Structure 1
Amino acid sequence: MSYHKENPLHPLLESDSLECPHKGKVILQSSNKELFEVNNDGLIVESDLLNASIIGCSNTIAGFPTPCSCIATIPKPCISTLLEIEGEGVILIDNISLILTDKGFPLMLNGEAKAKDVFEIDENPSENRR
Structure 2
Amino acid sequence: MKVVYGVDINYMKAWRAKEHAISLLRGGPADGYREMPRNIYMLKNVYPNSHVAMHKSWDNRFMYLFIALHSMIRGFEYCRPVVVVDGAHLSGPYQGTFVSASTLDGAGEGYFNICIFDL
TM tier relative to shorter chain: 0.3 to 0.5
| Structure with the larger RCO, 1 or 2 (CA within 8 Å, 6+ apart) | 1
TM-score of the two chains, using structure 1 as the length reference: 0.32
Identify the structure with the greater helix proportion.
Answer: 2
TM-score of the two chains, using structure 2 as the length reference: 0.34
The structure having more radius of gyration, on CA atoms, is: 2
